[in-house]
C-alpha cells in the first residue's frame, strides 16, 4: 500500500492512539478514591511531580459510601482505600483484582504485624496504608468525671456535648461491646438487643461527623466523643487537654489498605502509587499530616520522639480487635442506624 503522505512512526502512533477509546489509554492518569482527611495533598503532588501521572482524587466518608459509588461507577476508580473488613468483603465479591507484587518494591518496609492479616492472608489484593483505632476523646477541662468506657460517654449529663464518627458499623459495635456481645457475629437477635441502648445513645449526640470530628471539639461545640485515633492525635498535638483512651469494654483497630478495583483501567499507575506510598519518606509525610498508627516500620523509624509519644497514634494497652466481614448483616446495621437517627 502506498500513501501520498508517508506516515511516520510518530504519526502512526498518534493515529492509533486517537482510535483508542480515551478510557483504555491509561495515559498517565490515576483515579484515586480515598477517605477524606487521610491523604495529604503534598503526597499527591510529589507523586505527580516525579511520575508525570495526574491524580484525580475523590474522597468518601465511609466504607459503605465507597462501595456504593464503586459499584455504580463502572471502572471509574483505579485505586480505593477500604478498611480491612471491607476489603475482605470486596475480595469475596470479586470486586478487587490481584496485585502484581513484583511491582511493589517497598513491601519489605511494612511491619510484619500489619501483613498476612485475616482480610487478605497472602497480601494478594491489598497493601496497608494506615492503621488506627476508634476511641474516646475527652476535653479534660470540661469533663471532670472519670470516663473509661462507652457507657461513661453516653450519659444524660453529656447530652448535646458529644461528637461521634458517622459510621453505622462503628456505632453498633460500641453498643455491642457495652453489652458484652461479639462484634463480628452480628445477627437479627444481637441487633434487636442493641437497638434500645443505641436509640438512647443516639439521642444524646450533638454532632455526627466522620470527616473531621476534631472540629467540633476544637470549637468547643462538644466536650467529648468517640472518634478516629488520628483525629484525636491531632487534638492532642493542638492541646494536651484533649485526652484519648481506648474504651474499657473493647475497641476497634482498623487497618485501611490500598487496593485496585476489578474494573480499573490504569493498573500500572495504581501500582506505582502504592509503591510510592510504601517509601519510608513518603509514608512519614502521611503520618505528619494525619497521625494514625503507621504500619510501615521503615517510616516509623523516621518519626520524631514526639510523634511516637502521641498516645492517640501509638496507644498502649487496650483491648483492640479487628472487624471482620459480616456479610449481609452490614446492610441490617445500616438500616438500624438510619432508623434510629431519623427517630432522634
User: Of 30, 70, 77, 83, which lies in the binding site for ligand N2P, with binding defined by CB under 6 A?
Assistant: 83
Smallest Cα–Cα separation from 201: which of 153, 165, 244? 153
Closest CB to ligand N2P belongs to which residue? 37
Subset of residues 3 to 62 that bind ligand N2P, contact rule: CB under 6 A? 35-38
Min dist. Cβ of residue 141 to ligand N2P (A): 25
Q: Are 149 and 44 in contact (CB under 8 A)?
A: no
Tell which one of 228, 236, 273, 323 touches ligand N2P (CB under 6 A). 228
Under the criterion CB under 6 A, does residue 77 sit at the interface with ligand N2P? no
Q: Could you tell me where the beta strands, DSSP code E, fall in the chain?
A: 29-35, 54-60, 79-80, 127-139, 162-164, 205-208, 224-228, 242-245, 251-258, 320-321
Contact 164, 157 (CB under 8 A): no
115 or 229: CB nearest ligand N2P: 229
Which sign, positive or negative, has the C-alpha torsion 126, 247, 228, 111? negative
Beta carbon of residue 330, minimum distance to ligand N2P (angstroms, whole number): 15
Q: Which is nearer to ligand N2P, 143 or 299 (CB)?
A: 299
Residue (203 or 334) nearer to ligand N2P, CB = 334
Nearer to ligand N2P, 53 or 80 (CB): 80
- Judge whether 282 and 49 are in contact, CB under 8 Å: no
Choice between 37 and 152, CB closer to ligand N2P? 37
Comparison of 38 and 242: residue with beta carbon closer to ligand N2P:
38
CA 184 to chain centre: 19
C-alpha cell of 104? 511493589
- Got the DSSP string for 122-172? T-SS-EEEEEEEEEEEEETTT--S---SHHHHS-GGGTT-EEE---HHHHH
Q: How far is the CB of 244 from ligand N2P (least distance, A)?
A: 14
Minimal distance, residue 157 CB to ligand N2P, in Å? 28
Q: In what order do the strands lie in the sheet with 54-60?
A: 54-60, 29-35, 79-80
**What is d(CA 301, CA 309) in angstroms, rounded to the nearest whole number?**
13
Q: How far apart are CA 116 and CA 124, in angstroms?
A: 10
Smallest distance from the beta carbon of 26 to ligand N2P, in angstroms? 28
Least distance from ligand N2P to the Cβ atom of residue 272, Å = 23
Q: Which of 120, 209, 249, 256 binds ligand N2P (CB under 6 A)?
A: 256
Kindly tell me which of 95 and 143 has the beta carbon lying closer to ligand N2P: 95
Of 254, 273, 276, 323, the one binding ligand N2P (CB under 6 A) is: 254
In what helix (H) or strand (E) does residue 19 lie, and over which residues does it extend? helix 9-19
User: Site for ligand N2P (CB under 6 A): how many residues?
Assistant: 8
Q: Binding residues for ligand N2P, per CB under 6 A?
A: 35-38, 83, 228, 254, 256
Amino acid at each position: 500500500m502506498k500513501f501520498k503522505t508517508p506516515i511516520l512512526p510518530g504519526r502512526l502512533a498518534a493515529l492509533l492512539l486517537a482510535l483508542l477509546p480515551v478510557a483504555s489509554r491509561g495515559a498517565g492518569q490515576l483515579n484515586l478514591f480515598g477517605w477524606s482527611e487521610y491523604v495529604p495533598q503534598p503526597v499527591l503532588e510529589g507523586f505527580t511531580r516525579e511520575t508525570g501521572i495526574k491524580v484525580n482524587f475523590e474522597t468518601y466518608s465511609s466504607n459503605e459510601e465507597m462501595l456504593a459509588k464503586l459499584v455504580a461507577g463502572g471502572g471509574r476508580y483505579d485505586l480505593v482505600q477500604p478498611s480491612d473488613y471491607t476489603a475482605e468483603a470486596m475480595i469475596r465479591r470479586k470486586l478487587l483484582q490481584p496485585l502484581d507484587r513484583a511491582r511493589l518494591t517497598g513491601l519489605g518496609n511494612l511491619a510484619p504485624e500489619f501483613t498476612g492479616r485475616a482480610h487478605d492472608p497472602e497480601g494478594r489484593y491489598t497493601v496497608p496504608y494506615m492503621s488506627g483505632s476508634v476511641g474516646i476523646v475527652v476535653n479534660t477541662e470540661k469533663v471532670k468525671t472519670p470516663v473509661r468506657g462507652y457507657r461513661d460517654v453516653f450519659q444524660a449529663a453529656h447530652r448535646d456535648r458529644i461528637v461521634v464518627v458517622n459510621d453505622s458499623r462503628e456505632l453498633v459495635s460500641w453498643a455491642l461491646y457495652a453489652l458484652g456481645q461479639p462484634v463480628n457475629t452480628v445477627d437479627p437477635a444481637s441487633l434487636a438487643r442493641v437497638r434500645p441502648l443505641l436509640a438512647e445513645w443516639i439521642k444524646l449526640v450533638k454532632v455526627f461527623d466522620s470527616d473531621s470530628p476534631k472540629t467540633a471539639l476544637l470549637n468547643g461545640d462538644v466536650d467529648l466523643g468517640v472518634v478516629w485515633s488520628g483525629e484525636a492525635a491531632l487534638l492532642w498535638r493542638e492541646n494536651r487537654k484533649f485526652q484519648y483512651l481506648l474504651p474499657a469494654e473493647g475497641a476497634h483497630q482498623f487497618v485501611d489498605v490500598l487496593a485496585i478495583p476489578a474494573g480499573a483501567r490504569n493498573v500500572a499507575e495504581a501500582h506505582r502509587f502504592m509503591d510510592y506510598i510504601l517509601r519510608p519518606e513518603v509514608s512519614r509525610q502521611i503520618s505528619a499530616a494525619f497521625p494514625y498508627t503507621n504500619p510501615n516500620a521503615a517510616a516509623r523509624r523516621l518519626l520524631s520522639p514526639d510523634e511516637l509519644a502521641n498516645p492517640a497514634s501509638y496507644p498502649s494497652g487496650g483491648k483492640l480487635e479487628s472487624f471482620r466481614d459480616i456479610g449481609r448483616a452490614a446492610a441490617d446495621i445500616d438500616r438500624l442506624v438510619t432508623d434510629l437517627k431519623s427517630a432522634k
